Amino acid sequence: MKFNAKDLALLARRPSGYFDKEGKLKICRVVGDEKLIEPRERWCRLKGNLLFLMKNKSSEVSEVVILERCWVVEFRSKTDVSIVLKFQSGEPDLYLEAASKPDCESWAVALGEANSEGLQNKIQQLRRLIMEIKEERSSDEARQFLPSSQVDSLGEPQFTSIQRIANEPKLEFSLACKDLVAATRDRKLNTFIQVSVVHPAEHILTRYSSTEIVEGTRDPLFLTGVTFPPEYPIYEETKIKLTVYDVKDKSQDTVRTSVLPDHKEPRADVGRSFLGCTTFRVGDLVKSKEQQLTLTLRTSDGGKTVGTIEVNLVKMGELEDGETDHITTDAQDQKCALVRECTATEGISGKDNLPSLNAVLKNPICKLYRFPTSDNKWMRIREQMAETTLSFHVPKELINLHIKEDMRRNQELKDLGELAPHWDNMRKSVIAHCDQMLSMYQDTLAELGKHTGSSFKSSCSKGEKTLEFIPINLHLQRMHVHSPRLKDALYDVITVGAPAAHFQGFKNGGLRKLLSKFEAERRNTGYQCIYYSPENTAKAKEVLSNINHLQPLISSHADLLLNSASQHSPDSLKNSLKMLSEKTELFVHAFKDQLVRSALLALYTARPGCVLKKPAVPRNSAEEGGDVQHQDHPSHIKRQDSIPHHSEYDEEEWDRVWANVGKSLNCVIAMVDRLLEKDNVSNSKEGEKDPSAADCKVLHAGGDWYEQLYPLVITLKDCMGEVVTRAKQSMAFVLLQELACGLPQCLMLTLRRDIVFSQALAGLVCGFIIKLHTGLHDQGFLQQLHTVGLLVQYEGLLSTYSEEAGMLEDMAVGISDLQKVMFKVIEAKSEDFLPIITGRREHYVIEVQLPAKMFELLPQEIKEGKLLRMYPVLFNVGINEQQTLAERFGDTTLQENINQENLELLKEYYKLFTEKMPPDCLPHFQEQNDLKGLLENLHQNIQAKKRKNVEIMWLAATICRKLNGVRFTCCKSAKDRTSMSVTLEQCSILRDEHQLHKDFFIRALDCMRSMQNNQHTQ
């Protein structure tokens, strides 16, 4: 094609109103994913199929791009404002970057419609629109001839709902074509069907879904069906349009359809050609006698017939009626004849869509498939992918707990009292840093509170600071299988991006390395502060937590005891005393640790002008406060003063203060026993003489009970208050040392660990709730849940190279921290079924709420509030090209160590399982010998250190499913590698457990992956 340079230059200088579109864009050439130069700003003018590039609006044209034999790739990300022009000739792609997303979209539309193919597409769309208008006009004309009274009686349009089973999809159907006509006689067609919906109220055509591409046949039978979820607005009057395309270049078409917005029709390009289309009413399909329609495909002008298309109504609980035939497969054509027989099987899909589960799952995307089995029958598969509201709910609850915990810790540091100048300056520095970190948590919580829109964090947002606590792409991936001879089955996998601190980066590695390095450095800072091991600091946090939990409980039980005494109620008095004794004993034993004694001494040395005095005779604190029930009652219990300043420190003083709580309780117990004994004697004597006199005696004795117990209860409270004051200060001093030894790294590591744990916990809570709902009717699983605990298996696909090694280190620590999480199932008291999180760092309890009817199905142990343990294990195998570099030139020790450590945890769980569960708890095909063999095989594969040994993943997943565990699959963003792994696992399950025909394994895999890629492109 020849052009005159002068004419083009004149054309480029025409007035602005002459051009189809113009504006500023940043432009450069791209080869593959590499930009040849940095994008430069250019003034762009579009006229017809010519794109003029100029340095500025008034300068000469520097380049002209001819928009023929090219197509536009538009990215669906909300933040990406770039598009790419790809040329069929193979020349470098043209990268264009707009100033905003709306500007980017308008340029994409304008460029896509600028060539001759875009013009042809417009013409075809107009022709199809004319056909639809003609169809609608016939009903409108008929309406015009109705009497006015009948027209008025119609009023507002009323649409007929489709009858369906509760919580099941509104409509599902499968598709097949016959006798398609190709443009040329010798061409073998590669076809797919695009499904669009015409809503009766709006008369707007909306693209809904499409099938997979079936290659090399004119009679394609599509394995991918069409499903409309329960909430979709579809009625009998709704029209479904089916458009058949012939794909000339499969790879190009796959890219094009995956990047198009849902509301746009695909533009015609060199990769595909229109064959024919047809339309039907939903009511015609639903009411048809055979629940099947055979429709004629016609060209866009409505004249030529190009084949037929069969639409079959699908119900997951039934197989198709009709004659039984066999399935024939052909390597070239992939032809199939449907097997038709009717059996009624018990469906299970209705059990999992209950209100409490719907509260945590939203925006489901459903796909329907039909695959042949090895015995020439059909199985149906419904695949569902859903977001979860827990992606934001759990992190917000967790951050709120962090804020409360940190505010409490800061106050405890301030309450330490007077300290020597060195320690006081240290405390001021620590509090300043802690306040700054606390402010950051509060700002993050406020930002999350403002979030609206999607209930998950997409991969392009993983580096955003305000969303760093939110898991990436957290979704439920569910496969519901209905096969002719086997019971319906559900297979769930939670997919999520690897829990990691992406915003903070991985320049210095991840948590596993950073924590080890920090601990080594902290040991060498003893000259500035006192070193306490991580175990001791964890113990200090536990003691403080026990104080904050038990002190108010003991105080309330003591008040209840006095109230019972004032009412002279023996039974109530006994119950109150029992509760008071139990909580006080827990309180006393909480301080039965050498750490408290040593911390008190260390705190005293930090006071101004301390003097130490060695005790003459050492005493055993364990013996003195061991059994509070058998200690002598003290005749006089003196309340100890606070820790002395500027005087000698008696190391035995803590033992006396601590033991006085037990002695005070014994005094209360002895007094209650004496009161009850006297009451029994007096009641028996007075009752024999005069019943009315006995009543008067009771009224008088009620006041005596209260008066005699009151001073003893007050003494107990005073002794307990003294213990609390000293213990709180000593444990706060331990935490001061922990923080002071590593500022600011200590707080930054805590923040990083909180971020990673928040992402991991959101996924765990989602997995537990879903597993609980699906296992409510499985008594063996419920017994295993409260007897042994729940196995949670994470499949990691991260490489051990560069940044992903740091992500793996973060992920390993975050998943390990989940061992500190316990679950508790409670009965919901309202319609809010979201889980409640309580506790502190190192120990969290997740309360899962169930409706009353579901709660009644649980074993008594769970209903009584038994805490349920989690056993998380992580197995990682890098599978991408970066792992190849790591294996050849880097180090895979991290992956090997993680797999070996978690294998031991898995063996420990299996050992507990075999010890606590009866032998018949597993189904017949999951015998213990089978599990032993799988564990041994997994052990051998881990020891083999084979490159990219994906057998480890398959074995770990199989063991998890056989042990009723929860499955997770994770990669960097839970997109490409995750979807490849999940689809392979699903097809392998269909082959091994549901007899998928061996000739259809690859095609089923391709079919699922074409859908998965579109769903996971977030």
| Backbone φ, ψ for residue 501 (5° rounding) | -90, 80
Whole-angstrom Cα distance, residue 316 to residue 320?
10
Catalytic residue among 177, 971, 987, 1007: 971
DSSP state of 161: B
- Hey, how many other C-beta atoms are within 10 angstroms of the C-beta on 790? 25
Rounded to whole angstroms, the Cα distance separating 424 from 163 reads 74
Do residues 819 and 873 make contact, with C-beta atoms less than 8 angstroms apart?
no
Q: Is the preceding omega at residue 744 within 30 degrees of 0, hence cis?
A: yes
Cβ contact 328:337 at 8 Å: yes
- Which is nearest to 698 in space by CA: 561, 570, 571? 570
Q: Tokens 């600071």 label which residue?
A: 465
SS3 category, 222? coil
**Cβ neighbours, 10 Å, residue 471:** 30
Active site annotation includes 28:
no
State how far the Cα of 182 lies from the Cα of 202, in Å rounded to an integer.
35
Pairing of strands 40-47, 61-66: unpaired
Torsion, Cα 311 315 319 322, to 10 degrees, reads -40
Specify the amino acid at residue 661: V
Q: What angle do CA 477, 1006, 322 make, to 5 degrees?
A: 85
Which residues are within 8 A (CB) of 811 and not within 5 positions of it... i.e. 6 or more apart? Answer: 498, 499, 500, 510, 756, 760, 794, 796, 798, 874, 876, 970
Closest C-alpha among 882, 873, 901 to residue 977: 882
290's tokens: 């055979």
Residue 502 · residue 469 · CB < 8 Å: no
Q: CB of 192 within 8 A of CB of 212? A: yes
DSSP 17: G
Helix%, strand%, coil% for the chain, nearest 5: 50, 20, 30
Across 314-374, where does the E strand assignment appear?
361-372
For the record, the structure tokens of 146 come out as 């109705």
Euclidean distance between CA atoms 918 and 111, whole angstroms: 68
Element (H, E) at 676: helix 653-689
Integer Cα distance of 949 and 958 in angstroms: 15
Active-site residue numbers? 971
